[in-house]
A and B are shown apart, each in its own frame.
Chain A
């Protein structure tokens, strides 16, 4: 009988229970939230400047490594940035200065000319790829093309070092081999990223302008004469 009475009124047995006031009841009801990404972006003001700079530098360095070993990864494509291309373009343009300083008319490319060729060339190739129906976005393509100039910049550094030694015929053969190898590397690396975004019957149409672009830059590197 007591059971049926109790069953008819749930929690009936609890009406006698009372919490004495001696027992402290306190606590925190909030649910602990792990540091989410959006919180981080909002609070980058508070972090030291070194962290901010190192994060971007690490991203740029990561992409350089991806150009060195070009396999099909999304690092260059998804997290694109234009710091690396800017750095490489400025370095290349600076290294190409100071050659054939006697005749200013017929000398090598000026700083502005290198800039124009690299950036306008990249923009035109990107437009060409998009007009042909590519699925890669504008800045992703600029990022890939800019980062893949890295082997040619390395070749330029090597050429300038080698030219400090002498400028004979053997040296020219060495420079030729180095520049050709880096040109092939650049073209291969960038087509590894870009060619996949095109339907197969148009791949050659997209790859050829990239080939021409790096060929012109390789020509500028090779014909640098002190």
Chain B
């Protein structure tokens, strides 16, 4: 009987990852989150039947937190997003440190995410980077022009909007493109490794965390220091990304693989160098920022 069912059992193993992902809150109990998850599951199953029947009249907080621990909550409900915040302080710390130190055999997604991608890290790292870039750029332009006679300090608040657009589109649109590309290649050839969209967003978000100290270091008006930090930050974050996506395209056509990995690295370089040139002024050079130009 078991041997006759072999083809089905094989497929189950292949799709175990996806199954686990969809029903994560129903079936998995990982060793790390022993404290948090069983509690959530026990309270959820206790209250879910009540919350279903008297949903409109129930207290707002209770209904949101405890109702509907169904198999897959709808995309428009609160619970759908709550499972991406099922994370603790030390998890976030480990992931940030792991994104700064690439290790040849360690894949960020397998080692650190462990099927538990979170939205907290990418979102707050991007926000911090936006404000760090804008503020550091402002300080560096102030330091660069300090002695000049007709320089008037302005807070340059518009740059926050520009920085936010650049960084958030890098952190969300590029993972979308990468995910679409991997999906397309997976249709062409069977691959054992497939990443969910949230995991790719997570990797990109955490890989930006190395730029926060780099951006703060760019305030200091030393040219050599700036370029050193750019190179170091690019190497670290680029290699984290490459090491993560290498197993996904390893079995593919070599040209496709090289093109894909080099596009990832190129976009990373573009982001870093672009931010550096646009927001920061190097003392002694003409400033790139349009302060006095009449357009």
Question: Which residues of A come within 8 Å of B, CB atoms?
Answer: 99-100, 102-103, 105-110, 113, 128, 130-133, 135, 137-138, 199, 201-205, 208-209, 212, 215-216, 219-220, 223-225
B120→A205 contact, CB < 8 A: yes
Do B88 and A212 touch across chains, with their CB atoms under 8 A apart?
no
A106 touches B156 (CB 8 A): yes
Assembled-state Cα–Cα distance A138/B65 (Å): 13
B-side interface residues, number (CB < 8 Å): 33
B252 part of interface (Cβ distance < 8 Å):
no
The answer to whether A203 and B89 touch (CB under 8 A), given A106-B291, A212-B128, is: yes
Stretch from B19-27, B48-56, B79-87 that touches the partner:
B79-87
Beta-carbon contact of A108 and B61 below 8 Å: no
Closest partner residue, chain B, to A99 (CB atom)? B155
Question: Nearest Cβ distance between residue B159 and chain A, in whole angstroms?
Answer: 8
**Nearest chain B residue, comparing its CB with the CB of A204:** B89
Q: Across the interface, which residues of A come within 8 angstroms of B60, CB to CB? A: 137-138
Given A109-B155, A138-B60, A223-B138, 12 additional A-B pairs, CB 8 A: A107-B157, A108-B154, A131-B78, A131-B85, A133-B82, A137-B60, A199-B36, A204-B89, A205-B88, A212-B128, A212-B131, A223-B153
Per CB-CB distance, the 10 closest pairs between chain A and chain B, nearest first, are A131-B85, A223-B155, A201-B88, A109-B157, A204-B89, A100-B154, A106-B154, A106-B156, A108-B155, A132-B85
Complex Cα distance, B82 from A10, in Å, reads 74
Residues of B participating in the A interface, judged by any CB pair closer than 8 Å? 35-36, 60-61, 64-65, 78, 81-82, 84-85, 87-90, 92, 120, 124, 127-128, 131, 135, 138, 152-158, 289-291
Q: Specify which chain B residues have a CB less than 8 angstroms from the CB of A110 in the assembled complex.
A: 157
Given A205-B120, A208-B124, A223-B138, A107-B155 contact (CB < 8 Å) = yes
| CB <8 Å contact, B89 and A205 | yes
Q: Is A132 in contact with B155, judged by CB distance below 8 angstroms?
A: no
- Contact indicator A225/B153 (Cβ below 8 Å): yes
Q: How far is the CA of A135 from the CA of B60 in the complex (A)?
A: 11
Shortest B153–chain A CB gap in Å is: 5
Chain B minimum-CB-distance residue to A139: B60
Q: Which of A106, A113, A201 has the most CB of B within 10 A?
A: A106
- Among B92, B120, B157, contact of A113 (Cβ-Cβ < 8 Å): B157
Q: Are B158 and A135 in contact (CB under 8 A)?
A: no
Whole-angstrom distance between the Cβ of A119 and the nearest chain B Cβ? 16
Residues from chain A with a CB closer than 8 A to the CB of B155 are 99-100, 106-109, 220, 223-225
Closest to B156 in A: A106
- Is the beta-carbon distance between A219 and B89 smaller than 8 angstroms? no
Q: How far is the CA of A224 from the CA of B155 in the complex (A)?
A: 7
Q: What residue of chain B has the Cβ atom nearest to residue A133's Cβ?
A: B65
Chain A, Cβ-Cβ closest to B138:
A223
Q: Name A219's contact: one of B135, B152, B153, B158 (CB within 8 Å).
A: B135
CB distance from A172 to the nearest CB of B (A): 10
**C-alpha spacing A107/B89, complex, angstroms:** 38
Chain B residue, CB-CB nearest to A127: B81
**Residue from B81, B88, B291 within 8 A of A131 (CB atoms):** B81
Alpha-carbon distance A132/B88, docked complex (angstroms): 9
The answer to whether A106 and B158 touch across the interface, beta carbons within 8 angstroms, is yes
A105 in contact with B87 given A100-B152, A137-B60, A205-B120 (CB within 8 Å): no
B158 neighbours in A (Cβ, 8 Å) = 105-106
Q: Report the bound CA distance from A153 to B224 in whole Å.
A: 41
Q: 28 A-B pairs, CB-CB below 8 angstroms?
A: A99-B155, A100-B155, A102-B152, A103-B154, A106-B155, A106-B157, A106-B291, A107-B154, A108-B155, A128-B120, A130-B64, A131-B78, A131-B81, A131-B84, A132-B85, A133-B65, A135-B61, A199-B36, A205-B89, A205-B92, A208-B124, A212-B124, A215-B131, A216-B131, A219-B131, A219-B135, A225-B154, A225-B155
Q: Measured between alpha carbons, how far is A224 from B158 in the docked complex, in Å?
A: 14
Q: Are B154 and A202 in contact (CB under 8 A)?
A: no
Closest Cβ of chain B: how far from A63's Cβ, in Å?
Answer: 22
The answer on a CB contact under 8 Å between B61 and A137 is: yes
A107–B156 CA distance with the chains assembled, in angstroms = 5
Instruction: Find chain A residues with CB under 8 A from B35 CB.
Output: 201
- Identify the closest chain B residue to A131 (Cβ): B85
Residues of B within 8 Å of A203, CB to CB, are 89
Nearest residue (CB) in B for A105 is B158
CA distance A105 to B159 in the complex (A): 10
Min distance, Cβ A101 to any Cβ of chain B, angstroms: 10
Q: Chain A residues near B124 (CB, 8 Å)?
A: 128, 208-209, 212
Task: Let me know if A202 and B89 touch, CB within 8 A.
Answer: yes
B89 — which chain A residues lie within 8 A by C-beta? Answer: 201-205
Give Cα distance in the complex from A110 to B131, angstroms.
Answer: 17
Q: Which residues of A contact B138 (CB under 8 A)?
A: 223
